[in-house]
């Protein structure tokens, strides 16, 4: 007779298992875990004994739906300050590129982030991570990219690691030194790319601060050949890559990401059919970032039909950042993915669980199945489609991280 730490009964499971059932749903179900790993996820009637005899703690959740913990696989959550004044400028007609060319945009946040101490940066960033955790996010990706010097980039990534330790949730980091050209390297882009590849990245890797390497491949940022240099350095250091690709123009980013076997290619509004085919062949996840599309009032949709036709896994993430996606809710990004990009609520939820886990290279989560991490959320909803239906608010009733109650 097994004996588990925790057993939830009177629940409905949206397992997100690929079993042909919508949401991988199991009605009148039970979910159990032991030492942080799921030991049972199935019909209550198939439990191997009386519920009370199976676990130290047995809890009814009154028929509530339970999903895997949500995974936000693309955020810029660590930064100082805010850019509401740029929001006003854009509403008055200025473009994102105009503001960037005038020294605002990313570089405005770079100045604020460089000026902040590590403690100040942590204090400003923790509330954003707590808000995501409170509404079901149990795994979080956090990028650097607002430091653009070795010390400031390392400071950001240390803060990201500390957020994971403080909130006891999983944080995966990405080095994004190739996010923008810092002012001290104005008109010296090639030299900055050298700085990123030769000095910054090896030092960041030596300190174990980055789980992956990202870059912004765009006309207002770095060219495909410059990104290729960054990716070659990452490969030499044994770090996986991901890419901000084809967001504002078709720069061949998706194809470049696929060439390097990237974990994911993100944004993709301007990716062409060849780029989609390359992603499919490489097994690279397409990460959709509808909040940036919405905030920048873009009009060119990602090639959803082609991505689906070629079987490219679709993930959905917040892109939480102070400029193009000042969004503090992954579930709100799910709503945008449905309303603006035409995803079904099930596709969107799969995009923030199974496919988001794959976009981070994490095979131990994203589905409610025996052996996976006991990251799960008990929701105050009557159907899992509500997770993408309601705009804003907090729907999570209980959030468990590796079987421990975290919110």
Asked if 257 touches ligand DI6 (CB under 6 A), the answer is no
Exposed/middle/buried for residue 311 (C-beta within 10 Å: 0-12, 13-18, 19+):
exposed
Cα four-point dihedral sign 313, 319, 324, 328: positive
Query: How buried is residue 106: exposed, middle or buried, by Cβ count under 10 Å (0-12/13-18/19+)?
Result: buried
Which among 66-74, 270-278, 321-329, 377-385 is the span making contact with ligand DI6, rule CB under 6 A? Answer: 321-329
Q: Which residues pair with 71 in a beta bridge?
A: 139
- Tell me the C-alpha distance between 143 and 133, whole Å: 17
The residue among 23 and 79 lying less far from ligand DI6, judged by its C-beta, is: 79
Smallest distance, Å, CB 352 to Fe ion?
Answer: 16
Indicate which single residue of 12, 158, 229, 244 sits in contact with ligand DI6 (rule: CB under 6 A). Answer: 244
Q: Pick between residue 87 and residue 390 the one whose CB is nearest to ligand DI6.
A: 87
Q: Does 106 bind ligand DI6 (CB under 6 A)?
A: yes
- For the CB of residue 257, give the shortest distance to Fe ion in the complex, in Å: 14
Nearer to ligand DI6, 245 or 402 (CB): 245
- d(Cα 354, Cα 362) in Å, to the nearest integer? 9
d(CA 376, CA 403): 8
CB of 65 to Fe ion, least distance (A): 30
Q: From the centroid of its chain, how far is CA 21?
A: 25
Q: Which is nearer to ligand DI6, 216 or 231 (CB)?
A: 216
Q: By CB under 6 A, is residue 177 in contact with ligand DI6? A: no
Whichever of 216 and 379 has its CB closer to ligand DI6, that residue is 216
Contact between 109 and ligand DI6 per CB under 6 A: yes
293 lies in the site for ligand DI6, by CB under 6 A = no
Residue 175, classed as helix, strand or coil, is: strand
Alpha helical stretches, state H, 221-368: 224-236, 253-259, 273-282, 290-295, 304-309, 330-341, 345-351, 354-359
Give the distance, in angstroms, between the CA of residue 184 and the centroid of all CA atoms in the same chain. 30
Q: Is 84 exposed, middle or buried (0-12, 13-18, 19+ CB in 10 A)?
A: exposed
Asked if 321 and 79 touch (Cβ cutoff 8 Å), the reply is: yes
Distance CA 224, CA 219 (A): 9
Task: Give yes or no for residue 247 binding ligand DI6 (CB under 6 A).
Answer: yes
Q: Looking only at residues 289 through 348 of this chain, which bind Fe ion when binding is defined by CB under 5 A?
A: 319
CB of 74 to Fe ion, least distance (A): 6
Which listed residue (33, 185, 216, 260) binds ligand DI6 by CB under 6 A?
216
Binding partner of residue 109 among Fe ion, ligand DI6, none, CB under 5 to 8 Å per kind?
A: ligand DI6
How many residues in the chain?
A: 407
| Smaller CB separation from Fe ion, 80 or 106 | 106
Q: Is 218 in the site for Fe ion (CB under 5 A)?
A: no
Which range in 121-129, 310-318, 319-327, 398-406 contacts ligand DI6 by CB under 6 A?
A: 319-327
Q: How far is the CB of 240 from Fe ion (least distance, A)?
A: 17
Tell me which residues touch ligand DI6 (CB under 6 A). Answer: 76, 105-106, 109, 179, 216, 244, 247, 292, 321-324
């Amino acid at each position: 007779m097994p004996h588990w730490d925790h057993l939830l009964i009177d629940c409905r499971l949206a397992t997100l298992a690929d079993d042909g059932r919508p949401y991988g749903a199991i009605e009148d179900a039970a979910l159990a875990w032991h030492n942080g790993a799921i030991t049972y996820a199935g019909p209550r009637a198939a439990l191997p004994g009386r519920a009370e005899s199976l676990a130290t703690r047995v809890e009814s959740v009154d028929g509530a739906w339970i999903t895997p913990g949500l995974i936000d696989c693309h955020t810029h959550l660590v930064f100082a300050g805010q850019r509401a004044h740029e929001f006003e400028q854009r509403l008055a007609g200025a473009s994102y590129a105009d503001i960037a060319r005038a020294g605002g945009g990313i570089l405005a946040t770079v100045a604020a982030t460089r000026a902040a101490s590590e403690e100040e940066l942590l204090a400003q960033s923790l509330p954003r991570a707590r808000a995501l955790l409170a509404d079901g996010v149990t795994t979080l990706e956090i990028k650097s990219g607002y430091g653009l010097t070795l010390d400031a980039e390392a400071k950001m990534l240390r803060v990201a690691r500390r957020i994971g330790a403080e909130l006891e949730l999983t944080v995966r980091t990405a080095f994004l030194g190739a996010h923008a050209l810092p002012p001290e390297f104005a008109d010296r882009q090639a030299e900055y790319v050298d700085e990123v590849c030769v000095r910054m990245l090896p030092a960041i890797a030596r300190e174990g601060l980055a789980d992956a390497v990202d870059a912004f491949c765009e006309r207002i940022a770095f060219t495909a050949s410059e990104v290729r240099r960054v990716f070659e350095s990452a490969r030499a250091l044994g770090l996986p890559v991901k890419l901000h690709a084809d967001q504002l123009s078709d720069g061949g980013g998706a194809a470049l990401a696929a060439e390097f076997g990237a974990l994911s290619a993100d944004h993709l509004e301007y990716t062409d059919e060849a780029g989609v085919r390359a992603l499919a062949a490489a097994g690279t996840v397409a990460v959709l970032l509808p909040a940036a599309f919405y905030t920048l009032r873009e009009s060119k949709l990602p090639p959803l039909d082609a991505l689906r036709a070629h079987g490219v896994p679709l993930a959905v993430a917040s892109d939480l950042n102070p400029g193009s996606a000042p969004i503090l809710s992954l579930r709100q990004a799910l709503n945008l993915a449905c309303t603006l990009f035409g995803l079904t609520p099930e596709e969107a939820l799969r995009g923030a669980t199974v496919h988001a886990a794959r976009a981070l290279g994490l095979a131990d989560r994203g589905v409610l199945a025996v052996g996976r991490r006991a990251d799960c959320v008990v929701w105050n909803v009557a159907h899992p489609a509500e997770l993408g239906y309601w705009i804003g608010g907090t729907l999570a009733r209980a959030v468990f991280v590796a079987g421990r109650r975290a919110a």
